């Protein structure tokens, strides 16, 4: 029997990725397409890329799309690592007018979290589970007994007078050419502050850098257990497809 399929697109500050998704397994079907995020990353230019990716798969159904900022009812409210032109834009409506199916947009870390909770490291985990994605920024997704509390934005908590993600994201590691031990100290301090206000039962760390989790996770001194994400870079695509498939048609 053919797998139940969905389609997800993950919009990020550096790349836009999309693929068909097997919603039973929580896995990509075939090769994903990745295109560099246009600069400036204005909505119209990014929409063009999304339309191109969806078209090249010949997908005509509903699609899930992640956005790296606060997203409420399809409207973007922040743009920390994107062009400020996104703020106030109705992305669901704008994209739905350009692709054959309807569009559901959600925060990128929330999408990754939904995927990890359903298919990955958060499967069957009750209590307070916090997923953090380390990439261009730091994304967060908070789950209470499996239910998502959307748009938590913990990447922007103040840590020693700085925006958390400015010092502890994977981009900060690359930009400042930090070794894993040096960067792990920053992540540790960031998690210290975050833990003190959220008191999670489990922290799942995702983003590209979670592929090398063995190089930095053991250096952390958090009281909460920290485990690497299992879907890694595909979590956003899978979670977007899942959110779109499960949300009632408007
Ligand atoms: C944004 C979040 C996003 C995270 C990861 C942050 O700068 O504010 O909404 O989830 O980056 O992309």
Q: Whose CA is nearest to atom 10 of ligand 1?
A: 139
Boundaries of domain holding 216: 124-232
84 shares its domain with 151 = no
- Give residue-wise pLDDT tens across range 96-119: 999 999 999 999 999 999 999 999
> Residue 10: CB within 6 Å of ligand 1?
no
181 shares its domain with 227 = yes
49 shares its domain with 129 = no
> Residue 169: CB within 6 Å of ligand 1?
no
Which of the four pLDDT bands, split at 50, 70 and 90, describes residue 248? low
> Residue 155: CB within 6 Å of ligand 1?
yes
Residue 115 lies in a domain: no
Residue 250: the pLDDT is 47
93 shares its domain with 134 = no
Which of the four pLDDT bands, split at 50, 70 and 90, describes residue 3? confident
> Is the Cβ–Cβ distance between 209 and 134 less than 8 Å?
yes
90 shares its domain with 137 = no
144 shares its domain with 103 = no
Residue 172: the pLDDT is 97
For residue 53, pLDDT beyond 80: yes
Residue 157 lies in a domain: yes
- Give residue-wise pLDDT tens across range 115-167: 999 999 999 999 999 999 999 999 999 999 999 999 999 999 999 999 999 99
Residue 149 lies in a domain: yes
Mutate to test the pocket of ligand 1, among 16, 137, 163, 236 (most ligand atoms within 8 A of CB): 137
> Residue 110: CB within 6 Å of ligand 1?
no
Residue 142 lies in a domain: yes
Q: How many domains does the chain have?
A: 2
Question: Distance of CA 235 to CAs 19, 112, 113, 182, 243, Å?
Answer: 11, 4, 8, 27, 12
For residue 224, pLDDT beyond 70: yes
**pTM of the predicted structure, to 2 decimals:** 0.96
Distance in angstroms (rounded) separating the CA atoms of residues 188 and 205: 12
Write the CATH number for 51.
Answer: 3.30.420.40
Residue 213 lies in a domain: yes
136 shares its domain with 219 = yes
Beta bridge partners of 226: 203
- Give residue-wise pLDDT tens across range 180-207: 999 999 999 999 999 999 999 999 999 9
């Amino acid at each position: 029997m053919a797998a139940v399929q969905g389609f997800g697109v993950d919009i990020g500050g550096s790349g836009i990725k999309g693929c068909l998704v097997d919603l039973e397994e929580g896995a990509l079907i075939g090769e994903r397409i990745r295109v560099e995020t246009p600069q400036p990353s204005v909505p119209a230019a990014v929409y063009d890329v999304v339309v191109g990716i969806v078209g090249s798969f010949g997908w005509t159904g509903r699609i899930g799309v992640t956005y790296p900022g606060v997203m409420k009812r399809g409207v973007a409210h922040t743009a920390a690592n994107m062009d400020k032109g996104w703020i106030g834009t109705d992305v669901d409506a704008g994209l739905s007018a350009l692709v054959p199916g309807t569009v559901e947009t959600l925060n990128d870390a929330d999408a990754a979290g939904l995927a990890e909770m359903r298919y990955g490291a958060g499967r069957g985990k009750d209590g307070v589970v916090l997923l953090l994605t380390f990439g261009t920024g730091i994304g967060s997704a908070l789950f209470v007994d499996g239910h998502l509390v959307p748009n938590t934005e913990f990447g922007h908590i103040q840590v020693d007078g700085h925006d958390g993600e400015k010092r502890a994201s994977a981009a900060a590691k690359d930009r400042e050419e930090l070794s894993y031990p040096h960067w792990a100290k920053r992540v540790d301090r960031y998690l210290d502050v975050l833990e003190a206000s959220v008191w999670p039962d489990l922290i799942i760390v995702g983003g590209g850098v979670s592929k090398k989790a063995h190089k930095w996770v053991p250096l952390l001194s958090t009281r909460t257990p920290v485990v690497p994400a299992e879907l890694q870079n595909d979590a956003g695509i899978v979670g977007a497809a899942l959110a779109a498939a499960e949300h009632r048609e408007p």
